[in-house]
Chain A
Amino acid sequence: MAAEQAFGGMATIGAGIAVGLTGLGTGWAQSKIGAAAVGAMAEDESLFGQGLIMTVIPETMVIFGLVIALRALGMI
């Protein structure tokens, strides 16, 4: 029983780490790309689409993090 509870706790912590770290990673990457994209857009507004694409690329990381978290919590 105690072991099961401990396992559940670990899984929850793991889920938190998975989402937290991937979120930080994504944010760090997006901050740099986003800043550059906004700079480029200030020069040429037609770069909005390209900038958007570049900016959202790192998002995949946090999606993976979310999936792992839900998996760890046994929700899927």
Chain B
Amino acid sequence: MIHPRDMERVSITGPKSQLDSTIRRLHELNVLDIDDYNGEYDEFELGNPEKHADGISNTLVAARSLLDRLPDVESDGPAEIDGLNDLQERVDTIEDELEMIEDERQELEERRDRKEELLARLRLIDRLGLDPDDFQQLDAVDIILGRVDDTSFEDELPEGRYELYQDGDAIALFVDADLDVDQALGRCGFDPVEIDDLYEVDKKARDAIRDVKEKLDDIRSDIDAIDDEKKQLAEKHRSYLEANEKELAEELEKAEAPLRFATSENAFVAEGWMPEDRFKKVKTALEDESDGRVHVQREDADGEQPPVQHDNPGPVDNFEDLTDLVSVPKYGEVDPSFILFLTFPLFFGFMIGDAGYGLASFIVFYLGMRMFPGAKDIFKSLMFASAATFVFGLIFGDAFGYIIFGEHSALTALTGIEFFSQIPVLFHRTHNMTMLFMISAAIGVVHINLGYLLGMYNEYRHHGLIEAVLAKGSWIVLELGAVAWYLYGTAVGAPVMVTAVAMLAKGEGIQGIVEIPSLLSNILSYLRIFGVMVAAIALAKVVNSLASPMLATGTLLGLSGGTLILMVGHTMNTFIKIIEGFLQGIRLHYVEMFMKFFDGGGRPYNPFGARFADESRP
């Protein structure tokens, strides 16, 4: 529990005839973190993918592209898993159907766009009071239709040789063909509108507009029908494609697995890591399956870093993600998840220390867990923090900034029930600021020394007792020296501290000496517990004191206004406190404590087959 799971380096050797079945069995067992073969043995080369890997890969790409193109709808179609050939055939059929639908849609879209353009032009000439047959192409007259910023071009045209129709910025200009008006129009910001097909419309503008609109409606409903068809196609095939895509991806992984193995003409070797406690079962399973022709054996780790799998019981499990947020632990070092489990909720709870906010934040985290299944574990760990907040709230007798228990109980004042004021509280926080201040610093001392002790343990495991005492124990001696200095004077304290510094210099070198002032600032950093607590109490009281004059009026308006302020204010406060409690609480672990013992940088354990095992887990 305190370390990541013990890993065993193993090799699996067998004749090539057993390669397929071994891969299949390994995939089912979901246990081997394969080390890719890097060509270290003579005679052994990288294996070749299974013959059908290409086919699988092509079909997979086709199926994924279909899933991408089909609308994302609930599908109730059958989801049977097909063999590769049947699947390929069906994927092709679906693709053809989809292509036909998409082609038809594209054609309809083009027709729609053309009609829309025509409609806009017809509306334009209608505004100008013209009709399509006015746009007959004549040799002697140029017809110009479009929009302009102003009509100053008129000044440059000779009187009587042009005719201008204008409405707002829209113009239609009929001008003698031998006049060049382009430059003049250009200066007025002319934006032309095509007229080519206008004269083909053999109707009055109004009638033509009505006709085109009708046609547009038809086209649009055709497009809707096509979309429906596409949706139906998705409904029919989506679940089938999804199921088979998953299956194919799995098959592909198996088919390509030999690429990670060492193979000779007749044999294969796979190397990798598996949890030590599963070795025996895996060995039996693989060897039995092949009638003893496949051989599984332990190998020397050769100083290689094994992959890391957390190994924590029950609720500590939920805190692993918070650890991995900083870094996956290194193999063999202390897994700090259980420290997070022990102290993070306490910090959070102590800082906020309010039964009301404890409940409110619990609800928020519960909803968060339901809404973001990906971050489920982090929300679960935060629910522990909420529970601690609630408990501390009861201990201090606070809920939403009101004192609920003890001699100042607002509940008693409100309800007249004496019982509430008789429930004992530890102490009222507002009356014991100095004590809370000292408690915060004391938490720091304890927490940081816990960090040093874990650091000692890590050093002890990897470098032996002497290194542990020199590198990490020296810090504790240094602190003891400071205490001795304070209690018994320089004569006792100074020699102890000098010794500690000497030990530190030996253990961690100059880097350790430079770090000495940080010991003080790390401990003082825990005063943020006090700081956040003061802010939390003050914020709650601010909301209450804003609401209380309104509540005191006793009128309906006052009561409802006051209640509204309370609800909005405390909701906002809940979120502020979640952010503060989380950030400050987690930071004290990450920065102040973890740095005393935690290296991190481990490689997460990623067994062959796991991706699919995870997905199928209920």
Chain A residues near B (Cβ < 8 Å)? 48-50, 52-53, 56-57, 59-60, 63-64, 66-67, 70, 75-76
Contact A64 B433 (CB under 8 A): no
**Counting CB contacts under 8 A, is B521 at the interface?**
yes
CB distance from A11 to the nearest CB of B (A): 16
A-B contact pairs, 11 of them (CB 8 A): A49-B327, A52-B590, A59-B528, A60-B521, A63-B525, A63-B528, A67-B524, A67-B531, A70-B437, A76-B433, A76-B437
Contact B433 A59 (CB under 8 A): no
Neighbouring B residues of A66 by C-beta, 8 Å: 527, 531, 534
Considering the complex, which residues of chain B in the window 524-564 have a beta carbon less than 8 Å from any beta carbon of chain A?
A: 524-525, 527-528, 530-531, 534
CB distance from B431 to the nearest CB of A (A): 12
Neighbouring B residues of A70 by C-beta, 8 Å: 433, 437, 534
In the complex, per-residue mask of B253-282: 1 if CB is within 8 Å of any chain A CB, else 0: 000000000000000000000000000000
**Counting CB contacts under 8 A, is B434 at the interface?**
yes
Which 8 A-B residue pairings sit nearest by Cβ, starting from the closest? A49-B325, A49-B326, A56-B587, A63-B528, A76-B437, A60-B525, A76-B434, A66-B531
- If A63-B527, A63-B531 touch, whether A53 touches B433 (CB-CB below 8 Å) is no
Considering the complex, which residues of chain B in the window 513-527 have a beta carbon less than 8 Å from any beta carbon of chain A?
A: 521, 524-525, 527
CB distance from A41 to the nearest CB of B (A): 12
- Residue of A59, A64, A67, A75 touching B587 (CB-CB under 8 A): A59
Once the chains are docked, how many angstroms separate the CA of A59 from the CA of B583?
11
Once the chains are docked, how many angstroms separate the CA of A53 from the CA of B598?
14
Once the chains are docked, how many angstroms separate the CA of A26 from the CA of B579?
18
CB distance from B358 to the nearest CB of A (A): 24
Contact A56 B434 (CB under 8 A): no
Neighbouring A residues of B301 by C-beta, 8 Å: none
Once the chains are docked, how many angstroms separate the CA of A76 from the CA of B525?
17
Output the nearest chain A residue to B327 by Cβ-Cβ distance: A49
Neighbouring A residues of B325 by C-beta, 8 Å: 48-49, 52
CB distance from A30 to the nearest CB of B (A): 12
CB distance from A23 to the nearest CB of B (A): 12
In the complex, per-residue mask of B320-342: 1 if CB is within 8 Å of any chain A CB, else 0: 00001111000000000000000
CB distance from A32 to the nearest CB of B (A): 18
Neighbouring B residues of A59 by C-beta, 8 Å: 528, 584, 587
Contact A52 B531 (CB under 8 A): no
5 more A-B contacts (CB under 8 A) besides A49-B327, A64-B524? A63-B524, A63-B528, A63-B531, A67-B524, A67-B527
**Counting CB contacts under 8 A, is B591 at the interface?**
yes
Output the nearest chain A residue to B532 by Cβ-Cβ distance: A63
Neighbouring B residues of A50 by C-beta, 8 Å: 326-327
Contact A53 B587 (CB under 8 A): yes
Contact B590 A49 (CB under 8 A): yes
Neighbouring B residues of A52 by C-beta, 8 Å: 325, 583, 586-587, 590
Output the nearest chain B residue to A63 by Cβ-Cβ distance: B528
Contact A56 B524 (CB under 8 A): no
Contact B524 A53 (CB under 8 A): no
Once the chains are docked, how many angstroms separate the CA of A75 from the CA of B533?
14
Neighbouring A residues of B587 by C-beta, 8 Å: 52-53, 56, 59
Neighbouring A residues of B433 by C-beta, 8 Å: 70, 75-76
Once the chains are docked, how many angstroms separate the CA of A48 from the CA of B324?
10
Contact A60 B524 (CB under 8 A): yes
CB distance from B418 to the nearest CB of A (A): 32
Which residue, of A48, A57, A63, has the highest number of chain B Cβ atoms within 10 A?
Answer: A63
Neighbouring B residues of A49 by C-beta, 8 Å: 324-327, 590
Output the nearest chain B residue to A60 by Cβ-Cβ distance: B525
Output the nearest chain B residue to A48 by Cβ-Cβ distance: B325
Neighbouring B residues of A64 by C-beta, 8 Å: 524, 527
In the complex, per-residue mask of B445-476: 1 if CB is within 8 Å of any chain A CB, else 0: 00000000000000000000000000000000
Output the nearest chain A residue to B436 by Cβ-Cβ distance: A76
CB distance from B327 to the nearest CB of A (A): 7
Contact B326 A56 (CB under 8 A): no
Output the nearest chain A residue to B524 by Cβ-Cβ distance: A64
Once the chains are docked, how many angstroms separate the CA of A52 from the CA of B585?
12
